[in-house]
Structure 1
Amino acid sequence: MSKASSIYRVDKFIVPAGARDEFLARILDTHQILRRQPGFVQDSVLEQTGGPGQYNIVTIAQWQSQAAIDAAKIVVQAEHAKNGFNPQQTMAQLGVQADIANYAVVSTA
C-alpha cells in the first residue's frame, strides 16, 4: 500500500496543563483500540516541545482507506459507550479544544 492512497486522521488539541495527564491517558486508551482495527497502518501521539503553535497535543493515524476509518469509528464508539466514556463531554469538562480532520498526501508528480 502506498502512502499516496492512505488517509490520515489528524487530531490537534489545545489541552490545559492541568488536564494533560487525564487527557493523554484517554487518548492512549483510544489508540490501543484503533491499533487493533482492520485497515490501521500506524499512528503517532505527539506533544509540543517548543514553538509558537497553539495545539500542544497532536495525534496522527494512518489508515488504508476511509472505509477503514468509518468502521473503526463504530468500534471505538461502542467501546467508549461500554466503558461509560463520552469524549465530547470529557473534553468540555477538561477545557480541551479540538481541530479534527482527515488528510491525504498531496501528489507532487
Structure 2
Amino acid sequence: MSSQSKPAVVAPLYRINKYTVPLEARQQFVELVDKTLAVIRKQDGYVKDLFLEQHAGPGQFDFITLIEFASADVAPKVAAALVEFDRQLGLNREALMKTLGIRTDFASYRAFGGLAA
C-alpha cells in the first residue's frame, strides 16, 4: 500500500441564476447584469460565464446567467466583491428586483458524478 494519499479533487462550481423580467424592466435589468458580470469577471477563480435570453419554448424564465468558478472556495469571495459593489452604488438588489417585478431563482451546482454502482 502506498503511504501517499491522493490529492483532493477540486471541482468547479456553477452558479445559475434565472430571471423572469417584465418588458418595462428589461433595459435596467440588462444594464445591471452587465455591470455585475464585469465585477465577477475580475475575481480570482472566475472561469467563464454565459448570459442567455430565452427565445423559444415553454420555460418560465426570460434570462439565465451561468457562471463557472474554479471551485466552491471562490463563491464567498465573489459574494463579498458584489456586496462591496452594491454598497458603492447604494443598491439593494432584493428591493430592486421586487420594485421592478422581476422573479428570480438562484442556485449553485456541481457536475453530476453519476449513479453509484
Task: Report the TM-score range of the alignment, normalised by the length of the smaller protein.
Answer: over 0.9
SS of aligned partner of 2:61: coil
Quick one: which amino acid aligns to residue 58 of structure 2?
P
Q: Tell me the distance in 1 between the aligned counterparts of 2:114 and 2:49.
A: 23
Structure 1: unaligned runs, 5 residues or longer: none
- Measure how far apart 1:108 and its partner are: 3.9
Aligned residues: 106
Instruction: Flag as ranges the 4+ runs of structure 1 deviating above 3 A.
Output: none
- Structure 1 vs Structure 2: percent identity of aligned residues? 29
- Measure how far apart 1:18 and its partner are: 1.0
For each residue in 1:54-77, what CA deviation from the matched residue of structure 2 results, as whole angstroms up to 9, or x when unmatched?
A: 001100000011110111100111
Higher helix share: 1
The two structures have a TM-score, normalised by structure 1, of: 0.93
For each residue in 1:23-47, what CA deviation from the matched residue of structure 2 results, as whole angstroms up to 9, or x when unmatched?
A: 0110110000000000000001000
**1:19 is the counterpart of 2:29:** no
Q: Tell me the distance in 2 between the aligned counterparts of 1:32 and 1:92.
A: 23
Structure 2: unaligned runs, 5 residues or longer: 1-9
- Measure how far apart 1:107 and its partner are: 2.0
Q: Tell me the distance in 2 between the aligned counterparts of 1:51 and 1:17.
A: 18
